[in-house]
Amino acid sequence: MKTALTGLVLWLLCAAAVEAEKVSFIKIDGAIGPATASYISRSIEEARTQNAQCLIIQLNTPGGLLDSTQNIVQSFLGSPVPIVVYVAPTGATATSAGCFITIAASVAAMAPATTIGAAHPVSIGGFPSGGEEKTDQTMKQKLENFSVSYMETIAGKRQRNVEWAKSAVKESASITAEKALQLKVIDLIASSLQELLKQLNGRVVDGKTLKTADAEVAEIKMSPSERIFQKLWRPEVMFVLMLIAIYGIIGELTTPGAILPGVVGAIALVLALYLAAILPVNVTGLVLIAFALMLFVFDVYATTHGVLTVGGIIAFLIGSLMLFNRADPLFRLSLNYIIPATLITAAFFIFVIGKGLRAQLLPVKVGAGTLIGKTVTALTPIDSRGGRVFVEGEYWNAVSDTPIEKGEAAEIAAVQGLTVKLKTKGA
């Protein structure tokens, strides 16, 4: 009996030990933004809850936003679970923000034929630039100094090659995986996830000996909200939302009571403003676009023979080009969006809004308003107490501040419900 119980206890202990050998795994493929930072933070917490040996982040990124990068680095440095950043698959890059993230990992690994580096900041907006270009050299120098000291702190904390890390910021240095291993920028090279697990096995990381050789890899997926937001925070999405907001709100103002254009425009405006607070946007570009819209509207009322419309098209095109930094491929707004949007917006104001506003300025052709100015003959004496007239095939009650004799001609000055107000001819 004792032998059986001892065997059962040993089996349970072995099963528990095997179950404990789990590795959490996530993939980051694309720009670093708020959704990425949220995903990584949640994954670290889930890895802790699952008692995972470590969290492996397979990384392939051209860069991203500074705020999001800082949040990720902070979560790495405060993580209770060892963080392994694995730049993969073959051909992947960890440039700009990706370089900071890789250096900040507990273990930095790369697949063969991958690259890391080019972390020089260009603007306040992110790594690399994506916002308003700063022409002031002092501001640029301050940003570079901050980035260098930030990288130096991270590399020093992880005991990596500080001098190369600083050169990645100062000189946009970029190296291959093999060179990175030689310079002690990373800890190891692995051609596959399984090879990575074997190389991690037995390594002491943050005071913990990893047991990953036969560990179960549990992938943590992005939540639906994170996936949606990861797709949304892009320049072209914000640009399209901004256009929808413009069309919807102005369409509602020119066609009161339509409701739907106003609702759609208001929702698009809120989303566009939210993205503008996240994405590095050039304020000058926004001002030029707003100025273009003013020129379009003014040209509807002014007889400029289209001069203001031409000016509006030029201002809208330049504003769209300046809205994001076109020198940066990460936040570049393609001409495939800008040119059609410019033409559609011009056509929208010229044909749709223009015709709508001009229609509102036309004289009234139906209804009681058409009676004003008509000449009628009094059927009875008319004064402030009332009288009767016949107009447009109908009998109307009539009043007048000046007494009008029966048979005398008078002019309709106003229509008040079912009563017309008269004035004497020539008054």
**CATH number assigned to the domain comprising residue 163:** 3.90.226.10
**Would you state the torsion angle of the CA atoms of residues 276, 40, 60, 128, taken in this order, to the nearest 10 degrees?**
40
Considering the domain architecture, whether residues 205 and 250 belong to the same structural domain is answered as no
For residue 304, the model assigns a pLDDT of 62
Question: What residues contact 242, with CB distance under 8 A and at least 6 apart?
Answer: 268, 269, 272, 289
Q: Do 88 and 210 reside in the same domain of the chain?
A: yes
Q: Is 280 domain-assigned?
A: yes
Same domain, 77 and 170: yes
Q: Which of 308, 343, 361 is the last residue of a domain?
A: 361
> What CATH number has the domain bearing residue 382?
2.40.50.140
Say if residue 193 is in the same domain as residue 217: yes
| CA dihedral over 33, 37, 42, 44, signed as positive or negative | positive
What integer pLDDT is reported at residue 392 of this predicted model?
Answer: 72
> What does the pLDDT read at residue 19?
53
pTM for the full predicted model? 0.68
Same domain flag for 303 and 341? yes
d(CA 261, CA 264): 5
Evaluate whether 100 touches 179 at the Cβ level (below 8 Å).
no
In-domain check, residue 60: yes
- Residue 61, domain member (yes or no): yes
Final residue before a domain boundary, out of 314, 343, 361? 361
Predicted pLDDT at 99: 93
Residue 65: closest CA among 98, 27, 103, 104: 98
Whole-number pLDDT of residue 197: 93
Q: Contacts by 182-187 with C-beta closer than 8 Å and gap 24+?
A: 184/160, 185/103, 185/108, 185/116, 185/160, 185/161, 186/102, 186/108, 186/109, 186/110, 186/116, 186/160, 187/107, 187/108, 187/109
Residue 4 lies in a domain: no
**pLDDT (tens digit per residue) in 250-283:** 777 666 666 787 788 888 888 888 777 777 777 8
Q: Does a structural domain hold residue 11?
A: no
- The reply to whether 345 and 328 lie within a common domain is yes
Residue with tokens 């107490």: 385
Q: Is the domain of 128 the same as that of 50?
A: yes
Do 98 and 35 lie in one domain? The reply is: yes
Question: For residue 314, what are the domain limits?
Answer: 234-361
Q: Are residues 52 and 159 in the same domain?
A: yes
Question: Do 79 and 150 belong to one domain?
Answer: yes
- One domain, residues 253 and 328: yes
Helix (H, G, I), strand (E, B) or coil at 64: strand
Q: Write out the DSSP string of 66-102.
A: HHHHHHHHHHHHT-SS-EEEEE-STT-EEETHHHHHH
What is the total count of domains within the chain?
3
Residue 33 lies in a domain: yes
Angstrom distance (rounded) from CA 63 to CA 390: 79
Does any domain span residue 312? yes
Does 70 lie in the same domain as 180? yes
Domain final position from 337, 361, 385:
361
Residues of the chain with pLDDT under 50: 1-2, 9, 14-18, 123-135, 366
Residue 205 is given by DSSP the state E
According to the model, what pLDDT value does residue 132 have?
39
Rounded Cα–Cα distance for residues 284 and 11 (Å): 69
The closest alpha carbon to 102, from 166, 170, 158, belongs to 158
Residue 224 neighbours by CB under 8 Å, 6+ apart: none
Residue 49 in domain: yes
